[in-house]
A and B are shown apart, each in its own frame.
Chain A
């Protein structure tokens, strides 16, 4: 489980195998750590491990020799001997101090929903400060505004829906400006909520003519809802009405009977239930378990002009994400992000979202610990999937080089390097296959995948 590799363990293989060394092969390791990145107890320990294994590797280029040495003298003696002539402590400190940030006072925009948890909580829980930054997290009114403010450089980085940086980089709905995603915020954590009067209309085939709200056109919510409807034979462009509505207005609209339901980010879903206007039809997790939702994004320009600030920011976000991924921290996080300065929502609602024990709006209490989860690694296969859906629904016209765009925007390689430096165990590959409603997606063959859909916008 731990990602810290102990170089003084004689049974460990430092070279071959996997990144953390606990598994026989890279594939096995990846399986074990694919969705989690649990940090070790303390930062210092982690960095010490990274430094120590580097030193051991330098002294014993032959792995066999290192193992023989450790077996004969024992790990503690080896550590003592090594510390004699190599200042491990000092080296660790030097290593942990990455380049000083060019700009310390940063502004990061966010939308008040639980998807932004790592970005928000990093302020009250001190993750930004820990990485030498003074960050103001600024609440923003909507996705278009957060996009414009980030493009205008009022924000140095921002919380964006995972497809937005792709859309901005491609110039969809805005001028083409190269953006990049160093980290995904959350996986899962959305839901389809229907108005209470539709209690008995649980089969999507009966949904013809209904009105649904989504937060933004370039959102996972849009793609997931369309996917879900289309799999049930409903054409989202002709059989139902999809409206782009800012999340806070969704609950009010549901109460006013202007919409029949929505696929929205949490805490909005839980808020509708809390206020007794709707019920949870389906968690987004049931459509695609482990889907990305929101991302942490910055412009290429910021990355090139302030690379150290950017790296420190990414480290803080990755750190916060790792902290948020632990179930035992969730209650504390809910309390930290509930005040008016951050999400501004009742603590009970946030707790239900984050702990996964929630009222379903139909009189039952359900538990699903993975209702929302946090995993920072920006899989490029996620980006490829989003691009196939953009093309499927006519947002991208003509051909697109899936791989090139994904690799340009989703910084898997840089984040992997950074996570390795932090002593975490990032996956070794940037692409993975996954299944959406039972249909397997192969990131190597996006066009075939796209051709497999019966319902799509005629282009």
Chain B
């Protein structure tokens, strides 16, 4: 039953993909030449103007370009032109650093706040205000105060990915079943031992859900941050190709951002499954 469901779902996915590519291909087909122009004028103009080619590339253009990138993912033509593999590497390194810092701060802090009902109530308004701030809003402030663009980018990832983790940790720690804590008390378990052997395992699924939301946010943020600070990374690549109005490369970058984001999410999902327990 499950196998056939999977099979059918896979088939529907493929049909949808083919239909999408087909519609895309038809939609951007070039029409007949729009205007007649002198050959010397035409030589100076782009294909969009001379052959009425759509400004949007078709799936074949994107496929061919993607193959080119896949063939040499690690080329390095100087500070402003590196292969996609290198760019993604830079982005993942930035996200990793900012995210790990956020984990190191959010989980212990969330633990402490969660164990004290007073603190969690008192800090809640601040967290709620800081949570919805967009990365682009933090950027000028970060650049101005930190005075270093690469650290600013990491800071922005840190500050944007910390809140879901913090909130989930607080919630997870605060809603550990009272009976379990009472049992631990009855057995005279010390505070620290109680935190690690009772509360942490009980709150782990909620904490990991927060971490999973956060990695998604961190990956969303990196593209925006790199578009601003430039230099390296997949966000810079999008900006640089946009500068050249190369929609083909922008589409490839979008595809890759999606794939990497999915992989990061899957890794965290696997961790979540490891700590989940049946009640």
Contacts and interface: CB of A to CB of B under 8 A. Distances in A.
Contact of B243 (A112, A154, A273): A112
Contacts of A300: none
Contacts of B228: 141, 145
Contact of A154 (B77, B140, B149): B149
Interface string B122-144: 00000000000000000010011
A369 interface: no
Interface stretch (B44-52, B169-177, B210-218, B271-279): B44-52
A252 B250 CA distance: 14
A348 B79 contact: no
Interface string A132-168: 0000111111001100110111100000000000000
Q: How large is the interface on A (under 10, 10 to 19, 20 to 34, 35 or more residues)?
A: 35 or more
Given A140-B230, A141-B229, A341-B77, A248 B45 contact: no
B149 A339 contact: no
A274 interface: yes
A271 interface: yes
Contacts of A251: 245
Contacts of B55: 255, 275
B40 A365 contact: yes
B56 to A, nearest CB: 11
A344 B45 contact: no
A276 B51 CA distance: 11
A274 B48 CA distance: 8
B77 A340 contact: yes
B240 interface: yes
Interface string B229-246: 111000000011111110
Contacts of A136: 79
A344 B241 CA distance: 8
B265 interface: no
A363 B38 contact: yes
Given A141-B229, A341-B79, A365 B245 contact: no
Contacts of B240: 139, 340, 344
Q: Which of B81, B148, B243 has the most CB of A within 10 A?
A: B243
B171 to A, nearest CB: 38
B80 interface: yes
B81 A275 contact: no
A344 B242 CA distance: 10
Contacts of A138: 79-80, 230-231
A339 B37 contact: no
Q: Which of B44, B48, B55, B229 has the most CB of A within 10 A?
A: B44
A174 to B, nearest CB: 9
Contact of B44 (A145, A148, A342, A365): A365
Interface string B143-184: 110011100000000000000000000000000000000000
A345 interface: yes
Nearest to B37: A363
B67 interface: no
B196 interface: no
B190 interface: no
B227 A141 contact: yes
Given A141-B228, A352-B44, A274 B79 contact: no
A359 B45 contact: yes
Contacts of B147: 151-153
Contact of A152 (B48, B143, B239, B242): B143
Q: Which of A149, A339, A352 has the most CB of B within 10 A?
A: A149
Nearest to B40: A365
A276 B77 contact: no
Contact of B45 (A112, A154, A274, A340): A274
A289 to B, nearest CB: 24
A339 B230 contact: no
Q: Which of A112, A148, A346 has the most CB of B within 10 A?
A: A148
Nearest to B76: A341
Given A275-B46, A276-B45, A363-B38, A145 B77 contact: no
Contacts of A342: 80
Nearest to A251: B245
Contacts of B49: 273-276
Given A274-B45, A275-B245, A342-B80, A141 B239 contact: yes
Task: Identify the 6 closest CB pairs spanning chains A and B, nearest first.
Answer: A276-B49, A341-B81, A359-B44, A152-B147, A341-B78, A340-B81
Interface of B: 35, 37-38, 40-41, 43-46, 48-49, 55, 77-81, 140, 143-144, 147-149, 227-231, 239-245
19 contacts: A137-B80, A138-B79, A145-B149, A145-B229, A247-B243, A248-B243, A255-B55, A273-B45, A274-B49, A276-B49, A340-B80, A340-B240, A340-B244, A341-B78, A341-B79, A357-B44, A359-B41, A359-B44, A363-B41
Interface of A: 112, 123, 136-141, 144-145, 148-149, 151-154, 247-248, 251-252, 255, 271, 273-276, 339-342, 344-346, 348, 352, 357-359, 363-365
Given A123-B78, A145-B229, A340-B77, 4 more contacts: A141-B230, A273-B49, A341-B79, A344-B80
